[in-house]
Structure 1
Amino acid sequence: MNLYNDHEDVGAGGDSQSGWLIKRGRLTHRWRRRWFDLRNDVLLYGKAPEERSLKKKIVLEGALITQSNIDGKQFAFRIKSRENGRLHYICAENEVLQQEWMQAIYLARGVQGEHSQACVIQ
């Protein structure tokens, strides 16, 4: 089963980016397709692109982002939230999308001001 759309719907314009990725569940560790929407220093996600579906969020201020090969996923990355220490594992369809998302999350720190340090890529 392909967890991505045939067309990855990612748009990087200004301080936002959105599209389908897969995310590893915290309790079940199952990988599920989720719509992600990066807004300023918050990454919202849910089951569908509609605003009401974006019920969960990852606060990126002070977060660490690293590449990961968890569960053998080739294009995965990890976000460690400073807010609560939680680890979020996310996987893109290919290396280009992985790098785009990691870079967009890293650059999200700039929306808070020049001296903000919202996210660090390791």
Structure 2
Amino acid sequence: MAEAPATSNGVVRDSTELVSDKKGWLSKRTQFTYRWKPAWFVIKETQLLYGENEKAVQKKISLLGAHVKEVDGNEMTFTWTITPKGGKRTFFLKANSESEQREWIQAICDALVKSSTGHASTTCTVQ
């Protein structure tokens, strides 16, 4: 019988715990006031989870079938949008640099490609 993996402090983790593909700070535009607010983001399988900090990641955006689009404009530097499939809300995210933006968009695409193994073909198109 296999044992559950333990963390460095000896605490046993649930082996079904999702492994994070990418995590870090991004700015997210608020839905009603349109102000930019920092948030901690984590990609876990086909979900983009976010919250106020590393310990308060409670909200999620489904990436399955989501539409990802880069945004142009002076105030929108290093910004992209994610519109979940069938979603009525578009999420505006902003990185601190072009390379960080590219890394996040690539990680989102990679998560979608990984999730498509054994399922219908999934492609990631950034417009």
Alignment gaps of 5+ in structure 2: 1-18
Q: Which has the higher contact order (CA 8 A, sep 6+)?
A: 1
Distance in 1, Cα, partners of 2:76 & 2:20: 27
Q: 1:26 and 1:119, CA in 2 relative to 1: closer, same or farther beyond 3 A?
A: farther
Cα offsets for 1:27-51 (capped at 9, x unmatched): 111100000000111000000011x
Q: Which residue in the other structure is 1:58 paired with? A: 61
Within the candidate set 5, 19, 29, 2:24 is matched to: 19
What do you get for the CA RMSD once the two structures are aligned?
1.9
2: CA distance, partners of 1:70 / 1:56: 28
Residue 120 of structure 1: SS of its match in structure 2? coil
Q: Which has the larger radius of gyration?
A: 2
Structure 1 residue ranges without an equivalent (≥5) = 1-13
Aligned residues: 107
Q: Which has the higher strand share?
A: 1
- Normalised TM-score (structure 1): 0.79
8 A Cα contact 2:20 2:42, kept in partner: no
Question: CA 1:46 to 1:71, structure 2 compared with 1: closer, same or farther past 3 Å?
Answer: farther
| Identical aligned residues as a percent | 33
C-alpha separation in 2, matches of 1:68 and 1:20: 19
Greater Cα offset, 65-74 or 105-114: 65-74
Q: Residue 91 and residue 72 in structure 1: after superposition, are their counterparts in 2 closer, same or farther (change >3 A)?
A: same
Change in Cα spacing, 1:15 to 1:56, as seen in structure 2 (3 Å) is closer
